[in-house]
Amino acid sequence: MPGYSRLVPRLSRISCVILLGLSLSVAAPAQQQPRPAGARGDMVGWANEELASLQSGELTVWESGSGVRLGWATIQNALKADFPEMQVNFRVVEPEDFLADLATAKQNGALPDIVFVENWRQGGPLLVQQRVVEMMGQTRFRAGGWWFQMLGGAHQATATAFLRWLEDSPHWQLPHMSTEGMTVLDKQQVASAALLAVAAMVGGGAMDSVMDPDAAKLYRLSWGTACGTISRMSFPVTRFVFGNGRLAYAAVASEARSSGGNVECSGVVYTFMVLRKRQDGWKVLLATPRVPLELAVSRARDLDELGLKTEEDSAPNAPELVSPFDGERQTRDPKEFISWRQNVPRPVAYAVEWRYGMPSGDETSYSPAFISIVAAIDYGDTVRIPEPFGIGVQPHRWRIWAIGKDGQIALSEWRTILFTN
């Protein structure tokens, strides 16, 4: 459909959702300017000596799966380009042989350093059979599955560095997007609010102080399949801040580690945020944790390409939802449509915001929110698009943002869809 930009995050580990225990106190700086990116030291929590093990190290990697879903060739080519002397022994293991082969390798003192599991039928028993650390962040490569560091492997430092490299490129460069209309103080306040929101996600402060009153409530965060709760968040960094004098979009990276679950998890966690300026300052309207950095950049670029101008001063009206009605039961496949009426003056674009909950429908079970951008110009009086969401037999809430040419936002009410398959 012309103008329809669907930004769907990789959502693995949906079948098991963990309630986040607020057990950590993290002090975020009151003011922090976005750091310039691109240097090796900008990789969250990295030091040059940590990279050294990848310069001439050795690593054994096993994939439990088909040999296709992981896309190892792409990963290997990128690793070779960054670290030409790195030696990697890679093996694809049939899923039905994976656990037995690991048990044999353990007996022989020859465990791999890293394993990738594309199906939890192998991942769950792996946690029982072996001592592992699960990668908490999202890989920048398109691989749907789970990465684990084997604590009985021979190259622990190299394995740790490799997983970090999967999450965060040493060559990442700050993308070129607009900050026209943002003052230096705006950028500082946006960065400060974003950092404080991330700290509050794991119990490091009151989230209400930086959240927009209209933002979806963050009751739980899915940090991994069986990770438990976050026990440490360190090295919070604003990777980018863009926008204008009314609307801003930012990404924060933090090194995180969990405890209390079935497996220890660690890694770099990225949170994408949209903030708007209110009378009492910049507030977080959307916070989506555990997204790959590339996806955060893609979401920001969709907003940047709207060409928002602070001086336009064109407040939109709240969208009027048409269908489906609130509480409607639908099949998830084939997809149904959502629709709403366009008001005058027409906004420059819309955003579909959505969240999924557990089958119980309990208020506290709902996930953080995600957005997809829809161009207003491509439609007549009514916008009708395929639902850009749908996960399992679970309730989904959605609403529409109308985004004005100046970055002002008007919000529709929330509606709920109950999926039946």
Give the pLDDT confidence score for residue 324 in this predicted structure: 95
Beta bridge partners of 4: 374
pLDDT at 225: 52
State residue 158's pLDDT score: 93
**The domains spanning 47-167 and 314-419 adopt the same CATH topology:** no
User: Both tokens of residue 333?
Assistant: 């496949």
- Please give the CATH number for the structural domain made up of 47-167: 3.40.190.10
Type and span of the H or E element at 249: strand 247-260
Q: How far apart are CA 86 and CA 98, in angstroms?
A: 25
Reported as a single tens digit per residue, the pLDDT across 12-39 is 322 222 222 222 333 333 333 434 333 3
- Closest by CA to 257, choosing from 34, 64, 44, 114, is 44
Confidence at residue 29, expressed as pLDDT on a 0 to 100 scale? 36
Sign of CA dihedral 112, 114, 120, 123: positive
Q: What's the whole-model pTM score?
A: 0.81
d(CA 141, CA 78): 10
**244 Cβ partners below 8 Å, 6+ apart?**
178, 179, 180, 181, 182, 308, 309, 310, 406, 407
Closest among 193, 216, 213, 144 to 363, alpha carbons compared:
216
User: Cα–Cα–Cα angle for 288, 289, 294, nearest 5°?
Assistant: 85
What DSSP string runs through 184-217? HHHHHHHHHHHHHHHHHHTTSS-GGGTB-TTSPP
Q: Per-residue confidence of the chain (421 residues) as pLDDT tens digits?
A: 333 233 323 323 222 222 222 223 333 333 334 343 333 334 454 445 567 788 888 999 999 987 667 888 999 999 999 899 999 999 999 999 999 999 999 999 999 999 999 888 888 888 888 889 888 888 888 777 889 999 999 999 999 999 988 988 888 889 999 999 999 999 999 999 999 888 877 665 567 789 999 998 876 555 455 676 666 777 788 999 999 999 999 999 888 777 667 778 888 888 999 999 999 999 999 999 888 888 999 999 999 999 998 877 778 999 999 999 999 988 878 889 999 998 878 899 999 999 988 777 677 778 889 999 998 887 888 999 999 888 777 889 999 999 999 999 999 999 999 988 7
Closest by CA position to 145, among listed 13, 289, 293: 13
Give me the CATH topology for the region 314-419. Answer: Immunoglobulin-like (2.60.40)
pLDDT of 308 reads: 92
Positive or negative CA dihedral for 318, 280, 304, 139? Answer: negative
Handedness of CA 280, 401, 392, 325 (dihedral sign): positive
Looking up tokens 């997983």 gives 163
Q: Which amino acid is at 285?
A: L
Domain locations in the chain as residue ranges: 47-167, 314-419
Give the contacts of 362 (CB within 8 A, at least 6 positions apart). none
Q: How far, in Å, CA of 125 to CA of 116, rounded?
A: 14
Compute the chain's Rg from CA coordinates: 22
Predicted pLDDT of residue 201: 76
Q: What is the largest CA-CA distance in the chain?
A: 72
